Amino acid sequence: MIAIIKYLQARLKTVVVVCYALLAVTAASSLLVDTHHAHSWVEQHVPCFWSLFGFAAAATIIGVARWFGRSGIQAPTDFYTRSQSSEEEA
């Protein structure tokens, strides 16, 4: 298996192109699927709905996470021990 991965890694450009092709195929085939059992209006009438949803959702999550982290939630690893030791010195 390692050999396969190394083989693929050596031909990274090709792999990327193949992946893009697969994505296009997926989006196209979605138009052919029977949407009768879909739950909502949106799913039934917007073409390639789930592709758009997937991309938008992922991008939003990445954006929100980055903003959230940057706004202070991500703190240095010694956050708690640092304030503890400064209190003990005090």
Partner 1 sequence: MTPGFIHPSLLLIGGALLLPFIQGPLRKPYLFLVPLLALCAVALNTTLSGTFGLFQFMDWQLVFGRIDKLSTVFALIMALMAVIGTLYGLKVNRAGEHMAAWFYAAGSLGTIYCGDYLSLFFFWEMMAFASVFLIWFRRGPQSLQVGYRYLLIHTIGGIILLAGIMLRYQAEGNITFSLLDVTHPQPYTWLIMIGFALNAAVVPLHSWLPEAYSEASFNGAVFLCAFTTKTAVYTLARACAGMEILIVLGVIMALYGVIYAVMENDIRKLLAWSIVSQVGYMVAAIGIGTEMAINGAVAHAVAHILYKSLLFMGTGSVLYMTGKSKFTELGGLYAKMPATFFFTMIGCLSISAAPFFAAWASKSMIIGAGFEHHISWASWLLMFGATGTFMYNGLKLPYFLFFGKNNCSEETWEAAGDPPWNMMIAMTLGATLCIVVGTAPGFLYELLPYHVEYNPHTMYHFMETLQLLGFAALAFFLFKKAVEPVDRICLDIDWVYRKAGCGFLWLVKKPLQAIDTGWGEAYRVVGLSSLMSMSRFWSWFDWNAIDGVVDGIARLVRGIGSKVRLLQSGQIQISLYYAFSLAAVLLITFITFQLL
- Give the residues lining the site for partner 1 (CB under 8 A): 1-2, 5-6, 22-23, 26-27, 29-30, 33-35, 37-40, 48-55, 57-66, 68-69, 72-77, 79-80, 83-84, 87
Q: Which of 18, 8, 46, 41 is nearest to 30 (CA)?
A: 46
Nearer Cβ to partner 1 (5/10): 5
Nearer Cβ to partner 1 (10/87): 87
Q: Which helix (H) or strand (E) holds 20?
A: helix 12-32
Q: How far apart are CA 23 and CA 58, in angstroms?
A: 15
